[in-house]
């Protein structure tokens, strides 16, 4: 009867182990531990805004683009607008320094703009806050 508790304990230890049983990371995997290094915002025109963001620990370009999108969403809200439209983003991957950089341009507007890459600023800003992505 003493083996039953040790089996349960072994199952518990396996289920709660950091590496998991049978769910080990491959050598290329690494935990997502971003460090957001800041946002530089430049108003280019009344409704045209440039966001330059930097971060380390990005998994890929999507993480960096999301950081710029969060900055655009919050900026639109600060300016009293509810929407933004993505125009373009250029990115430089981490390289030796590990710092990823993006230069993004968005338009901001009170009404939903035309285009495929529009964002509802309130929804995006709420999601960014929930995921602890800093904004302007």
* Per-residue pLDDT at 102: 97
Per-residue pLDDT of the chain (136 residues; tens, 9 = 90+): 444 444 433 333 333 333 333 334 444 566 888 999 999 999 999 999 999 999 999 999 999 999 999 999 999 999 999 999 999 999 998 888 899 999 999 999 999 988 889 999 999 999 999 999 999 7
In-domain check, residue 35: yes
Contacts of 37 (CB under 8 A, 6+ apart): 53, 54, 55, 56, 99
In-domain check, residue 3: no
Q: What is the CA radius of gyration of the chain?
A: 21
- Which domain range does residue 125 map to? 29-130
In-domain check, residue 22: no
In-domain check, residue 95: yes
In-domain check, residue 41: yes
In-domain check, residue 24: no
**Number of domains forming the structure of the chain:** 1
Residue 122 belongs to what H/E stretch?
helix 121-130
Indicate the pTM of the whole model. Answer: 0.76
In-domain check, residue 10: no
In-domain check, residue 51: yes
């Amino acid at each position: 009867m003493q083996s039953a508790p040790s089996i349960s304990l072994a199952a518990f230890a396996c289920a709660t182990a950091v590496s998991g049983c049978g769910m080990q990371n491959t050598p290329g995997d690494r935990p997502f531990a971003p460090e957001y290094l800041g946002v530089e915002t430049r108003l280019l025109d009344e409704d045209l805004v440039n966001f330059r963001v930097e971060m380390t620990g990005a998994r890929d370009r999507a993480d960096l683009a999301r950081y710029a999108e969060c900055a655009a969403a919050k900026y639109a809200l600060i300016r009293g607008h509810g929407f933004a439209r993505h125009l373009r983003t250029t990115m430089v991957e981490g390289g030796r320094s590990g710092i990823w950089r993006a230069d993004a341009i968005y338009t901001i507007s009170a009404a939903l703009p035309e285009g495929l890459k529009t964002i509802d600023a309130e929804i995006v800003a709420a999601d960014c806050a929930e995921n602890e992505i800093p904004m302007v």
